[in-house]
Amino acid sequence: MRVWVWINVRVTGKKIQPHPHPRPHPHPQDIGITLHHMGSNFWRMKNYQRAMECYRDSLNMLQRFMHAAHPEISSVKEKMQHLEQELHNSLQISP
């Protein structure tokens, strides 16, 4: 990378300015959506407790920054209901 930057400056003669925020902070909505996706992944791995934790955190974050009828909020609520139902059904089945 450094070699390319040096060559680029030398060839083009342009001064390279660093980005003012090399790692900009993500928007809270993005964190909520990421938590939603993490919950889905934990569910697929059958780690139901972690999945529900991620869904709850996602819902809390999204409700603070999005309107109540937003599709992402509806999706998280729906998945939480399905997960609760799946947990309820799995507890009723006796080996």
Q: In whole numbers, what is the pLDDT of the chain averaged over residues?
A: 79
The whole-number pLDDT of residue 58 equals 95
User: 33-46: per-residue pLDDT in tens?
Assistant: 999 999 999 999 99
Inside any domain, residue 42? yes
Inside any domain, residue 3? no
Inside any domain, residue 95? yes
Instruction: Show the domain range for 47.
Output: 26-78+87-95
User: 13-38: per-residue pLDDT in tens?
Assistant: 555 555 555 556 678 888 999 999 99
Could you count the other beta carbons within 10 Å of the beta carbon of residue 47? 14
Inside any domain, residue 47? yes
Inside any domain, residue 36? yes
Number of domains in the chain: 1
